[in-house]
Structure 1
Amino acid sequence: MGSDAPAVPCPLTDEQQHTWRNFVYATRLVEDYLDRCFQRQAGVPHLYYGLLALLSEAPQRRMRMSELARRAKITRPRLSHAVTRLEKSGWARREACPGDRRGQEAVLTDSGREMVARAAPGHVAAVRRAVFDSLTPEQAGQLSSICRAIEEGLDREGADVPWLR
């Protein structure tokens, strides 16, 4: 092997393996719970509500599709599919980017803004139930610090997969 060979990572300790599995299981439970809540409440996955919420916070309630995909941490094809569904519901529409014929923006419609406003209290209740009701205030602070550290660690690397380079 030459010097370009990737370093072999050392295995996880038993405690790290246990922590990793707990993290994965807990995040999947939270995602599943929120999805089920939104399917019952609005007939859409939680991801779609998240996209509408991002648009509701954007200037003029619009965002370039590539930026929306980046912020939502999803692929452009998945975003395109989601926006198509949101368009069919009348909650969003696509428009050409000013000055860029190839680019598109997702725009939150008035109906979409109303949906976000109607769904927000249920979203808050579901998040409280899924996460915060089980934690002490100290644990919530620790969780915030841990998530921020993970986010910053991945952002520094651009979320690349180092062993595939």
Structure 2
Amino acid sequence: MFKPSVFSAVLIALSSLVTAMPTDKLSLGAIPAGFPNGFYAGHLKDDGSTQWELLVAHPENTTSNIEDPIVKSSLTKRDGFSCNGFSVNANDVAVAQTQFAANCGVSGYTFNARAIAYTYNSGVACGCNYAKSQTCYHDGVTNAFNLLSSEHCGADGAGWWSDTHNKASYGRTNNGGGYC
């Protein structure tokens, strides 16, 4: 008679966990060339195509300032960082990250879209929603972007932070490719 081992039970339990980067869903397409810089909501339509909605246009004369203090303990317990292995324009991504964080705000920005993204020239900062809704916060995403730069991918490396507990991820990449 076969008795399942503790090891088998653990494997079965682990296989049922949901990750923040599911592979069974289609990725969103890129924000189309020619769209203005700004803050967007991305929706995956029933036919598999992507619809991007401009929420906030990019303000004139904006500078980047993503150098807020890093607080490691708020992100390291259940979250993971990953690098894509390709470069981004550090200046464009810095502006995109700064504006993304500003649009999340100190009080938070709740979104039901599959993704939110801030595009600035060739750089994109994005948040991916794998649940019903997410709330991003200025300090949390600023901290994640700072850690991506300082400890994981470098200032010019594409990458993301996966928040498995909340079924979300936040990252940066080049405009022109799909994500989320």
Indicate the TM-score class for this superposition, using the shorter chain for normalisation: under 0.3
Higher Rg of the two aligned structures:
1
Higher strand share: 2
What TM-score, normalized to structure 1?
0.27
Q: Which has the higher contact order (CA 8 A, sep 6+)?
A: 2
